[in-house]
Amino acid sequence: MMEKYEIVTCTTVSITHPALGGTLQERLMMMVRAIEWILDLSSSWRRRNSTEEGKKKAHRRYQDAVLALSKAYALASALMRPGDPGGCGLLPGDPRRADQEPRKVPA
């Protein structure tokens, strides 16, 4: 996951965010510039590859990294419960969960 995180952060590090607190129009223009930046960067990665498969992989590099991070976040969020110490969620059936009776171990 760190590799995916580094791809996303390195791709977006050059995008400035002064419009985050701006008007709706300024925020939309910032989004347009960010999208153009990422697409230009993806195109330059694609041009560096000679094989067709390499070009496809390079073109999808950013999108694949964002997708992988989104899936990991969704999975982690599904396991987390409000009120758990440290935000650590426990799977249903785990004997450490406070809202469930401990499972009886057959003799």
Is residue 104 scored above 70 in pLDDT?
no
CA geometry: angle 93, 96, 98, nearest 5 deg: 90
Distance CA 59, CA 47 (A): 9
Structure tokens at 44: 């330059």
Distance CA 38, CA 11 (A): 7
Please tell me the pTM assigned to this model: 0.56
Residue 9 vs residues 2, 36, 66: alpha-carbon distances, Å: 10, 16, 10
- Of 96 and 50, the structure prediction assigns the larger pLDDT to 50
Model confidence pLDDT, tens digit, residues 17-70? 666 677 888 888 888 888 888 888 888 888 888 888 888 888 888 889 989 999
- Of 5 and 20, the structure prediction assigns the larger pLDDT to 5
pLDDT at residue 98, rounded to an integer: 56
User: What is the average pLDDT across 73-80?
Assistant: 79
Is residue 88 scored above 70 in pLDDT?
no
pLDDT at residue 68, rounded to an integer: 92
- 92 pLDDT band, cuts 50/70/90, is low
